[in-house]
Amino acid sequence: MKHGGDLTQAMAEFGGAADEWLDLSTGINPWPWPIRKLPDSAWQRLPSRADEQALLAAARAAYRVPEAAGIVAAPGTQALIQLLPRLAVDGAVAIVGPTYNEHSAAWSDAGHAIAAIKDLSELPAHVTHAVIVNPNNPDGRVTDPDRLVEVAAVLQRRGGWLVIDEAFADVDAHISAVASCGKLPIVILRSFGKFYGLAGIRLGFAIGTPDVVNGIRHVLGPWAVSGPALSIGARALNDAPWAMQTRVRLAAQVIKLDGILLNAGFEVVGGTSLYRLARHPEAAALHRRLAQKYIWCRSFDWSREMLRFGLPHDAEALDRLAAALAP
């Protein structure tokens, strides 16, 4: 499968209705920030500049964006992934992988040659840009901020960008390289939907030097983000207590997931508290067995031994996974 989170393919192949499936194919927090009531105006009128400014102020505080850096909101990080390679200067791009496959697709589409590398230390001399997902999806590897700054400085001399996709960085406030934004040619992508459990609203951010951010804003045009996303995003990003409690709650739940995977003979090789990457010699057969029991996890075309599991949302879901994996 190409992406997590779409049961359409799973249901076509294995049957069942959407509500019969336990979907563990994504890295989306299963306990969403509580939306409660939205003002009617969020649906009915065009989003205003004041709405957008309120969202960006909340995002600046939540992500600790330095004053020297700019920030722009988009209808999902994916929209930014599509757009960045078209705004970047010509030149090859190194992509640290295996990782989320849309980066490579978008840069290739925009005419950049791709150099697939395993670690930033292997940065080829001919590349102008680099892309890293940090923490990485699916293996959760975290790259040291000092190393990121070093690479950004190298790319600055080549006139290029270091794109850091921090889609899963909310789980630990120490991971982000945002403090270095604004001085160096670093473009950070932040995804709202994953940590806040609201992937359907489509909200993401790019943080970078003011000229890069203004270029993105210009190409996105006015009213890029929906009224509900502006309203929910501003309130949720201002809710620091919820974020803190959620970090703790996710960390506790993923330990329970680890226990189930270890009991079933998996080796847990990485991940974040929103998903785990696990190795098993019979991974392909287990993926199929789980699907026959309407449990959907993520498999990969680059390994037959790896599966990625999102967080089961309650004790019943944990038990269901454990039972399905029992020999």
Confirm or reject binding of residue 106 to its own copies (CB under 8 A). yes
Using the minimum distance from each CB to its own copies, give the nearer residue, 143 or 273.
273
CB of 158 to its own copies, least distance (A): 26
C-beta closer to its own copies: residue 127 or 216:
216
- Which of residues 127 and 220 has its CB atom nearest to its own copies in the complex? 220
Question: In the 8-state DSSP scheme, what is residue 127?
Answer: E
Backbone angles phi, psi at 235, to 5 degrees: -70, -45
Give strand pairing partners of 208. Answer: 70
| Contact criterion met (CB below 8 Å) for 190 and 164 | no
Asked whether position 23 contacts its own copies by CB under 8 A, the answer is yes
End-to-end CA distance of the chain: 25
Token duo for residue 82? 């599509």
d(CA 141, CA 118): 11
Binding residue for its own copies (CB under 8 A) from 24, 26, 217, 298? 26
Beta strand segments in the chain, E: 22-23, 70-74, 92-96, 114-117, 127-133, 162-165, 186-191, 204-208, 267-272, 275-279, 295-296, 298-300, 303-310
Kindly tell me which of 47 and 182 has the beta carbon lying closer to its own copies.
47
* Residue 194 C-beta: closest distance to its own copies, Å: 10
- What's the rounded Cα separation, in Å, for the pair 181 and 175? 14
- Stretch binding its own copies (CB under 8 A), from 23-31, 65-73, 111-119, 260-268: 23-31
- Output the CA–CA distances (angstroms, integers) from residue 3 to 19, 139, 171, 174, 272, in the order listed: 19, 15, 21, 28, 18
Pick one of 17, 36, 37, 46: the residue that binds its own copies (CB under 8 A): 46
Interaction residues for its own copies, span 52-81 (CB under 8 A): 75-76, 78-79, 81
102 binds its own copies (CB under 8 A): yes
One residue of 13, 90, 109, 122 binding its own copies per CB under 8 A? 109
Structural contact between residues 112 and 131, judged by C-beta atoms closer than 8 angstroms: no
Q: CA 82: distance to chain centroid?
A: 14
Closest contact distance (angstroms) between CB of 47 and its own copies is 6
Q: Indicate which single residue of 22, 24, 47, 138 sits in contact with its own copies (rule: CB under 8 A).
A: 47
Largest Cα separation within the chain, whole Å, is: 57
Cα 241 → chain centroid: 22
Which residue lies nearer to its own copies by CB, 193 or 208?
Answer: 193
Q: Of 14, 16, 42, 247, which one interacts with its own copies (CB under 8 A)?
A: 42
Could you say whether residue 226 binds its own copies (CB under 8 A)? yes
Contact status: 172 vs its own copies (CB under 8 A): no
Residues of this chain that bind its own copies (CB under 8 A)? 3-9, 18, 23, 26, 28, 32, 35, 40-50, 75-76, 78-79, 81-82, 86, 102, 106, 109, 193, 197-202, 218-229
